[in-house]
Amino acid sequence: MIFNTEMELMPIDKLRTVQNERLVSTLQRAYNNIPFYKDLYDQAGVNLSEIKSVNDLHKLPFTKKNHLRENYPFGMLAVPQTELSRVHCSSGTTGKPTVVAYTKNDIEVFSEVVARSLAAAGCKPGMKLQNAYGYGLFTGGIGIHYGAEKLGMAVVPISGGGTEKQIMLLKDFQAEALTATPSYALTIAEELKKRGEDIRDFNLKVAVLGAEPWSEALRSEVEQGLNLKASNIYGLSEIIGPGVSNEDFEEQGTGSYIWEDHFFPEIVDKVTGEPLPYGEPGVLVLTSLTKEAMPMVRYWTGDITTLTYEHSEKRTHIKMGPIIGRADDMMIIRGVNFFHTQVADILPDFPQLSANYQVVLTRPKNMDAVEVGIEINPSYFNHYGIPFDDLNGGAPDEVKKLISNIQKKIKDNIGLGMAVKLYQNGSLPQSDGGKLNRILDNR
């Protein structure tokens, strides 16, 4: 389903005209109303009159998260505080939180792009949506809520956690759509299986999952466990929240449409910052084209992905690939560049494993070491009668061979020797509605 036919099907040349007009307006508002941007551009010797189109964006310096923290709480506002309709912020676990603010029009745009995203995912007016994203200062819960209502859905605002109640309401209310983090959707699926619930007693059709990177293996587990089709929603608070892009449920696996009339994307080299061609992986940089309260120009997301125009008959907007890692999450282990998502890529080769894993880094004797913890697929072990009470140490020969094969696959595909430890299903740290930490750096 297409929510906004005019914008989503707009010819590229006309879309560029819209983007260019909105960019020039955004730059003038940022320069005239936000001291940070005036100082940034003056110090860089930027003449804004020379920035006439999105093709000139590369001439401007980046905006980074530390800039937002340095201007806490309202130093990045382009409007008076009296014009704000809402304020969100990050958890602030590493210091001052990142504050994001919205005017009334910003909220309308937020709702619009989320409505587009949900429609692309297969949601329709009249459906019920159980929203298991967290409400509060986090942009996810309330952002999805407003967008779903704009689409014409009935929202069950349960928020994150409370898995027992989640399952009860999914069954009793017969919601057709679920929104959550991928790891929490998997938690619900595994709990249904553990209880022996008949999936036919539920009415789920689609899941819209985001807020953390996830793999095709995890998608497969969620889809099978909940008997639905799952798509990826992408966003970040600094730009607007969820709804920057979304997969189309009929084009699953081909990338996520970025709503280009509101967010202009670039891919740049993570070291030099230079623009990269379509299809080449690099850091995603986003410029908000319509944000009033806190416009972001060339915001360095830190997410590693690709951009491609596939000239789809369905929409004209560009697609971004899956997030393959973060510029600041890339680990160099014994001289080898390593993203934890490379572990996720090999898991589908082993039906004995679930999609849940965690990478633990240590430094014994001044040498970096990596251990990969992976949960097993209990259905496989039960079916073949393989004991798994003690998966490591005194494990049976079948399990020892499995661990050896996983280690070989990692070595062959990634180029690193890693210890592998298997865990009972559900025993790795689980996300109860929040993001699952895939990396523990104990060095």
Task: For the chain, 443 residues long, give each residue's pLDDT as a single digit of tens.
Answer: 999 999 999 999 999 999 999 999 999 999 999 999 999 999 999 999 999 999 999 999 999 998 998 999 999 999 999 999 999 987 544 457 889 999 999 999 999 999 999 999 999 999 999 999 999 898 999 999 999 999 999 999 999 889 999 999 999 999 999 999 998 999 899 999 999 999 999 999 999 999 887 888 889 999 999 999 999 999 999 999 999 999 999 998 899 999 999 999 999 999 999 999 999 999 999 999 999 999 999 999 999 999 999 867 789 999 999 998 888 777 778 767 788 888 988 999 999 998 889 999 998 866 678 999 999 888 777 765 565 555 555 567 888 899 999 999 999 988 889 999 998 887 887 654 456 678 887 87
- Examine the domain organization and report whether 261 and 314 are in the same domain: yes
- Examine the domain organization and report whether 304 and 383 are in the same domain: no
- Examine the domain organization and report whether 275 and 389 are in the same domain: no
Task: Give yes or no for a contact between 204 and 227, defined as CB atoms under 8 angstroms apart.
Answer: yes
| Phi (first) and psi of residue 34, to 5 degrees | -120, 110
Which two three-digit tokens encode residue 260? 């280009």
Q: Tell me the residue range of the domain where 379 lies.
A: 331-441
Cα separation, 95 vs 367, in Å, equals 30
**Number of neighbours of residue 19 by Cβ within 10 angstroms:** 20
- Examine the domain organization and report whether 309 and 341 are in the same domain: no
- Examine the domain organization and report whether 236 and 375 are in the same domain: no
- Examine the domain organization and report whether 381 and 239 are in the same domain: no
- Examine the domain organization and report whether 300 and 336 are in the same domain: no
As for how many domains the chain has, the answer is: 2
Amino acid at 224: Q
* HSE-CB for 278 with a 13 A CA cutoff: 6
Which of 326, 347, 374 lies at the terminal end of a domain, its last residue?
Answer: 326
| Phi (first) and psi of residue 429, to 5 degrees | -55, 125
Which of 326, 361, 390 lies at the terminal end of a domain, its last residue?
Answer: 326
- Examine the domain organization and report whether 312 and 353 are in the same domain: no
Report the predicted TM-score, pTM, of the whole model to 2 decimal places.
0.82
- CATH number for the domain harbouring residue 366: 3.30.300.30
Give the largest Cα separation in the chain, rounded: 72
Which of 300, 326, 352 lies at the terminal end of a domain, its last residue?
Answer: 326
- What is the 8-class DSSP label of residue 367? S
